[in-house]
Amino acid sequence: MIKVGIVGGTGYTGVELLRLLSRHPEVELKVITSRKEAGMAVAEMFPNLRGYVDLAFSDPQQAELSACDIVFFATPNGVAMQQARQLLDDGVRIIDLAADFRIRDIGVWEKWYGMQHACPELVAEAVYGLPEVNRTHIRPARLVANPGCYPTAVQLGFMPLLEAGLADTGMLVADCKSGVSGAGRKAEIPILFAEAGDNFKAYAASGHRHLPEISQGLSRFAGKPVDLTFVPHLTPLIRGIHATLYMRVDKSVDVQGVFEKRYADEPFVDVMPAQSHPETRSVRGANLCRISWHRPQDGDVVVVLSVIDNLVKGAAGQAVQNMNIMCGLDERLGLDSPGMLP
């Protein structure tokens, strides 16, 4: 059995990790930390886990994380980098669901996240945990940087055509919408029900901190820098990301064939028939990205539609997928379930 610890078990990604891992046949949950809720039974805070998780939250200073095989950090940005070095020295492998190790350029990371990096030497070692790209590097990794939710949906949508050198890298647009759970489990006015319900708005249109992560990935696929415009929006949904992606592609390209070939062996990417309209509700609760594409007016602009559950394929589910790969398991283990309807 894989002995697992979770640092930061009270947020939405933390409880989603608990939901998935509690039913994983090869996992033994050992430690769940929360400084504020130490001593409280997990099931008292999250009644959906009653009968599945019988642990109580532990104070991070007293938690025996070094006894774990893998530790997940479901914490705010800046926490994992403070503890990673000691855990790695103790032989523990780490999957960080925050952004501490995603961006290779330390200066860029510090600019966008507004703090000094505590262990820049580990950034070079960290493996970016997008399995559809880095599976062979994830397997032996000690430290995996789990991708962000927007970056997952956007990169999976752009990747096939960029890798094949078929898209104009000077004109990429990502118009993305997210449910309010993407903002985290906290009390802030913009995500209160009376503020976010029956409302729709763009935010961070001048620059969102997921932009450098997305640009880093797209540039890698293309083999050169890309010109990306990324604008996120907040929607009155609880879960879900819908990415509408625009790029110029020659009319002669078999777009459907490119996507089907690239994702033929990917268990968690569903390439739908051309001109389909994937819905966020079809992937709710599932570790799945559904993709389709359109060519409006038969022109040279291809529109790709990419949907995920931001808490599953965009966070906790992808983290469990990475754990499965790291431990030599079938990466579908504990994750092979359909979305929830209605």
Does position 198 have pLDDT exceeding 80, yes or no?
Answer: yes
**What residues form DSSP beta bridges with 304?**
245, 293
Q: Return the sign of the alpha-carbon dihedral for residues 212, 268, 312, 92.
A: negative
Question: What integer is the mean pLDDT of 238-256?
Answer: 97
Does a structural domain hold residue 336?
A: no
Asked whether residue 113 falls in the same domain as residue 185, the answer is no
Q: Does 301 share its domain with 157?
A: yes
Q: What is the pLDDT of residues 111-146, one digit of tens each?
A: 999 999 999 999 999 999 999 999 999 999 999 999
Indicate whether 162 and 294 sit together in one domain.
yes
| Same domain flag for 106 and 172 | no
In a domain, 277, yes or no: yes
Q: Which of 149, 176, 289, 327 is catalytic?
A: 149
Look up 176 and say whether it is catalytic. no
pLDDT at 61: 85
End-to-end CA distance of the chain: 35
162 and 93 share one domain: no
> Which pLDDT band holds residue 193 (cuts at 50, 70, 90)?
confident
| 263 lies in some domain | yes
**Residue 136 included in any domain:** no
One-letter amino acid at 337 equals S
Position 42 scores a pLDDT of 95
User: Residue 77 falls within a domain, yes or no?
Assistant: yes
- Average pLDDT (319-337) is 97
CATH number at residue 235: 3.30.360.10
Q: Domain total for the chain?
A: 2
- Confidence tier at 191 by pLDDT (50, 70, 90): confident
Check whether 184 has a pLDDT greater than 90: no
Query: Is the domain of 258 the same as that of 170?
Result: yes
Whether residues 28 and 79 fall in one domain: yes
Instruction: Look at residue 131 and tell me if it is in a domain.
Output: no
Average pLDDT in the chain: 96
Which pLDDT score is estimated for 188?
A: 84
| Average confidence (pLDDT) over 227-247 | 97
- Whether residues 298 and 163 fall in one domain: yes
CA dist 169 and 339 (Å) reads 33
Give the whole-number percent of the chain exceeding pLDDT 70: 100
Residue 183: per-residue pLDDT: 84
Residue 226 and residue 170 in one domain: yes
Which domain CATH number covers 29?
Answer: 3.40.50.720
Mean pLDDT calculated for residue range 162-170: 98
Say if residue 62 is in the same domain as residue 155: no
Residue 67: give the domain boundaries.
2-125
**Same domain as 70, residue 17:** yes
Question: Is 0.85 surpassed by the pTM of this model?
Answer: yes
From start to end of the chain, where are the E strands? 2-7, 27-33, 70-73, 93-96, 127-128, 143-145, 167-178, 201-202, 228-234, 241-249, 269-271, 289-294, 301-308
79/217 same-domain check: no
Q: What is the mean pLDDT of residues 54-70?
A: 93
List Cβ neighbours of 310 (8 Å cut-off, separation of 6 or more). 149, 178, 179, 181, 182, 239, 240, 241
User: Do you find a cis peptide bond into 338, omega within 30 degrees of 0?
Assistant: no
Indicate the pairing of strand 2-7 with strand 70-73. Answer: parallel
For residue 324, being part of any structural domain is answered with no
- Average pLDDT, integer, range 188-207: 90
The reply to whether 318 falls in a domain is no
